[in-house]
Amino acid sequence: MAVAAPRKTEYEAIIGLETHCQLNTASKIFCHCSTKFDSDPNSNVCPVCLGYPGVLPVLNEKVLESAVKMGLALKAKISPYSKFDRKQYFYPDLPKNYQISQFDLPIVEHGHLEIEIADKPSDPPVKKTIGVTRLHMEEDAGKLVHAGSDRLAGSTYSKVDFNRTGIPLLEIVSEPDIRSGKEAAEYAQELRRLVRYLGIGDGNMQEGSLRCDVNISIRPVGQEEFGTKVEIKNMNSFSAIQKAIDYEIERQIKAVETGEPIYQETRLWDESSQRTFSMRKKEGSSDYRYFPEPDLPPIEVTPAQLEKWAAELPETPAQKRERYETEYGLSSYDTRVLTDDRDVAEYFEAAVAAGADPKQVTNWVTQDIAAHLNKNVGLTIVELPLKATQLAELVNLIHDGTISGKIAKEILPELLEQGGSPKAIVDSRGLTQISDTGALEAMVDEVLAANPEKVEQFRTGKTKLQGFFVGQLMKKTSGRADPKLLNQILAQKLRG
């Protein structure tokens, strides 16, 4: 088998993301229609979002608040004065034949987002700052439903659902600071964490609540000039973002090295074939013929509004990660697991506030509780019968020697299913740990006397037999023996 010759030129990818975040406001951006997902087609519509002649849009103030809060979380500049524009293009699910968006005066500019990259979960992460060029508000288009066996190519007709028309969006445009598919996927995930922590959206990519378009080009390492930019659409998971970028980097490198031209175009990611394919040539901003939206006044964010919204910001995921490491001494891996979901982080903090050891709480939350939630799809930690204060009680029962870790594991399934007081369960069933030295010594003597051959084998060098004796004693005490004290007594007795 021939071995491919090594490349003489080393290339780097220049990647930027345009992320559309659907907000969870009760009504649309410019009218009172509901934003409820999965409603009957064309049931949440009105003359405003359908673009009837003579109707006037009115900005939903909650959308402005969400945009400002996201901008503050991105440590960006909030524009005191911004405006809406009309972005002209024709598409069957865009009833007005233009989209109300923002162009030259967006609400947010010049922010940044810090991400953490680790090759393996056990590796310490490397931090990198990704610039955010701008964030602006806009309305969503509708949805085309293509009927047929092969979606677009095999469809015989299409239906239009205008429910999504007018749903409020934040479009967040990154600087071209990303260099790999892995970095892009982590950037998108960190954005989703922020959206969820702020409570402004659910970030569900499967439902289209978070959509990412990738702009990617390659250039020889050391070259300042960018290559031809290609846009990739149709990615509905973070895994797809990473795989699509990695594929496109390789495709563009091969094209350059074989003399094949790279066109500025929009490509789609096909999950089944794991490749991108051309959709259309990319439009420029001039093709959209932007002009100021005449039916909406300019937006002014007052100092009072800015101060109020800034005061309502929660601790961000990055701030929590840093605090957990410095305050609780947790590993970077554990802090990432705990802070990925705000509800999980708040559950952890409530257990610690109730007096439990942070590292022990971390172990229970990231292992046993996480496994239970994964097994029970749809159950969230907020709905878990075992409340944070009850977990703290369980951890403290182990810590003060009342029960062993083994006993805690035995009563955990009941606590996860029904909740309740761990101490009450322990007391009612007589599960208190045996820590009486005299009682344990007597039991050790009984077990050793019943197994003289194994005692002799241990003393002639088969020291692994200590595990056998521990097992026998745990069985004898129904797992209630203090493991540390038991091992000390056993080791002493075995040495003779």
Residue 291 lies in a domain: yes
pLDDT bin (cut points 50, 70, 90) of residue 339 is very high
Please state which of the ranges 75-84, 190-199, 229-238 shows the lowest mean pLDDT.
229-238
- The segment with the largest mean pLDDT, out of 134-138, 258-262, 330-334, is 134-138
Same domain, 200 and 130: yes
Same domain, 424 and 441: no
For the chain, the straight-line distance linking the first and the last C-alpha, in angstroms and rounded, comes to: 66
pLDDT of residue 302: 95
Same domain, 340 and 298: no
Q: Is the pLDDT of residue 114 over 80?
A: yes
pLDDT by residue (tens digit) across 354-384?
999 999 999 999 999 999 999 999 999 999 9
Please state which of the ranges 52-56, 75-79, 182-186, 399-403 shows the lowest mean pLDDT.
399-403
Q: Distance between CA atoms of 247 and 271, rounded to whole angstroms?
A: 12
- The segment with the largest mean pLDDT, out of 133-147, 270-284, 480-494, is 133-147
pLDDT of residue 1: 43
pLDDT by residue (tens digit) across 275-326?
998 887 765 556 789 999 999 999 999 999 999 999 999 999 999 999 999 9
Same domain, 135 and 212: yes
Residue 236 lies in a domain: yes
Residue 179 lies in a domain: yes
Q: Measure CA 155 to chain center.
A: 35
Tokens of 220: 């020889």
Residue 415 lies in a domain: yes
Which has the higher per-residue pLDDT, 493 or 338?
338
Q: Which long-range contacts (CB under 8 A, 24 or more apart) does 96-100 make?
A: 96/51, 97/51, 99/138, 99/139, 99/141, 100/29, 100/30, 100/57, 100/138, 100/139, 100/293, 100/296
For residue 60, count other CB atoms closer than 10 A to its CB: 22
Which has the higher per-residue pLDDT, 390 or 285?
390
Q: Is there a contact between 213 and 230 (Cβ–Cβ < 8 Å)? A: no
pLDDT by residue (tens digit) across 223-252?
999 999 999 987 889 999 999 999 999 999
Beta strands in 185-283 (DSSP E): 210-220, 230-233, 265-270, 275-281
As beta bridge partners, residue 111 has 132
pLDDT by residue (tens digit) across 443-478?
888 888 888 888 888 888 888 888 888 888 888 877
Residue 2 lies in a domain: no
Same domain, 177 and 278: yes
Domain boundary, last residue among 279, 306, 333: 306
Same domain, 277 and 161: yes
Same domain, 284 and 356: no
pLDDT bin (cut points 50, 70, 90) of residue 152 is low
Residue 3 lies in a domain: no
Domain boundary, last residue among 404, 429, 454: 429
Domain boundary, last residue among 306, 336, 364: 306
Q: In this prediction, what percent of the chain has a pLDDT beyond 90?
A: 71
Q: What is the CATH number of the domain that holds 485?
A: 1.10.10.410
Instruction: Specify the pTM.
Output: 0.86
Residue 5 lies in a domain: no
Domain extent at residue 352? 315-429
Same domain, 237 and 361: no
Average pLDDT, the chain: 91
Residue 216 lies in a domain: yes
Q: Distance between CA atoms of 245 and 384, rounded to whole angstroms?
A: 38
Number of domains in the chain: 3
Same domain, 446 and 425: no
Same domain, 390 and 475: no
Same domain, 466 and 397: no
Q: Which amino acid is at 102?
A: Q
What phi and psi values does residue 276 have, to the nearest 5 degrees? -100, 155
Same domain, 166 and 282: yes
Q: Distance between CA atoms of 489 and 496, rounded to whole angstroms?
A: 11
pLDDT of residue 402: 87
